[in-house]
Amino acid sequence: MSSLVARAQLVGAVAAQYCEHVDKEGRFPSEAVRAMKEARLLSAFIPKEFGGEGAELSEIAEVVSIISQACASAGMTYAMHQIKLSSVISHGDKAAWHQDFMRRISRDQLLVASATTEGGIGGNLRNSICAVERDGDRFTLAKDGCVISYGRDADAILITARSRPDAPASDQVMAVLTNDQYTLELTGTWDAMGMRGTCSDSFKFSAQGDVAQILPNDFGEIAAKSMLAICHILWSAVWYGIASSAVSRAQSFVRSEARRNPSQTPPGALRVAEAANMLQLMRSNTIAGLSRFAQAQHNEDDLGSVGFIVAMNNIKIGASRMVVDIINHALLITGINGYRNNTPYSVGRHMRDALSAQIMISNDRIFGNVANLLLMHRLDPSLAA
């Protein structure tokens, strides 16, 4: 863990140098990602037998948080890369092609992106319009209107589609395609309020590859048993990093006020204590998610249970709400100095990045799913882990 943390801090230092440029120019955090590759952080999650470090999810979450404190776009890029890797690690570890792909990531520090969205499905990742078309050992795939974060900078993309042209929309598979196997036709550019460096442009995706590149398990199982839980946990780690940075700036502001007027307690001191309390709750929320996921991994039935799904969804909802409240608290502490973009206490970028949290898989959609699940599931009232 200490080695990973030290390397993450080095990446964070690089990300901090360029974060304002990344935000203002809406460009990919290339310097930070280059530093990740040099530090060999992109393969940290991959099992040792395939050339990685076999890091625990809690260690990956810590790396995500450290980088996000410096640059949320860089932290989110790292988180999304690891989320995609988790699908290959959990569901491709017995398949020769995917084993070799993990070795390639470890050797060459490949950056992996995701193409799970599609025009016409309304943000529902569990439905696809496009389909895999097989011809012997080969397949072709065309997907329109898919948002692919850092798509033009990725070395490979994991993409979802119906398993065959006559399959239902929910009968999906996930395939790995390397950047020499697909073309991207730009259909919409990413000019957003926050998370500007993720470069989440829209594309028409066309590809062909070997059938062996399709993960053995159907996407429904991949999503339920690994991807969505890890997604919510690592996103929460990103948002915790942003919130931590905002509170740190607020604390620095109050300390500077105290030095200027040592005879009186600054008016924002009480609010810093409140913000620290909120930050602790947010940290506990994410740690609870890590603990719950670790527990479920030892029980296949629990991993697919209603209680587990509800718990993971609640981790995301809680973190996405708390991050905005915490940063707003920091803004109240710093006042105009936090509102302005050209002061060391500015939290404008933090707030804009954090506002994405509630719409990355919309909280309303998640609440709707949880509401249906709770019609058949009794809430657990215990405090036991």
The class level of CATH for 2-111 reads mainly alpha
CATH of 113-213, one of 3.30.450.20, 2.40.50.140, 2.40.110.10, 3.40.1380.10: 2.40.110.10
Fold match flag (2-111 vs 219-374)? no
Which CATH number applies to 219-374?
Answer: 1.20.140.10
Which residues of the chain form beta strands (DSSP E)? 112-115, 133-135, 138-148, 156-162, 172-178, 182-188, 201-210
Residue by residue, pLDDT tens for the chain (385 residues) are: 679 999 999 999 999 999 999 999 999 999 999 999 999 999 999 999 999 999 999 999 999 999 999 999 999 999 999 999 999 999 999 999 999 999 999 999 999 999 999 988 877 888 999 999 999 999 999 999 899 999 999 999 999 999 999 999 999 999 999 999 999 999 999 999 999 999 999 999 999 999 999 999 999 989 888 898 999 999 999 999 999 999 999 999 999 988 988 888 888 889 999 999 999 999 999 999 999 999 988 888 888 788 888 889 999 999 999 999 999 999 999 999 999 999 999 999 999 999 999 998 888 888 888 888 888 777 777 776 6
- How far apart (Å, rounded) are the C-alpha atoms in residues 246 and 350? 7
Q: Please, is 322 exposed, middle or buried when counting C-beta atoms within 10 Å of its C-beta (0-12, 13-18, 19+)?
A: buried
- Give 270-304 pLDDT, tens digit per residue: 999 999 999 999 999 999 999 999 998 888 888 87
Residues ≥6 apart with Cβ < 8 Å to 207: 140, 141, 142, 159, 177, 181, 182, 183
HSE-CB at 162 with a 13 A cutoff on CA atoms is: 15
Beta bridge partners of 201: 148
Q: How far apart are CA 117 and CA 147, in angstroms?
A: 6
Domain extents for the chain?
Answer: 2-111, 113-213, 219-374
Which residue shows structure tokens 């707003």? 328
Q: Whole-prediction pTM value?
A: 0.95
Q: Using the structure block, give the residue that is written with the tokens 């040592």.
A: 262
Write the CA distances from 183 to 27, 135, 161, integer angstroms. Answer: 21, 20, 16
Rounded to whole angstroms, the Cα distance separating 283 from 290 reads 11
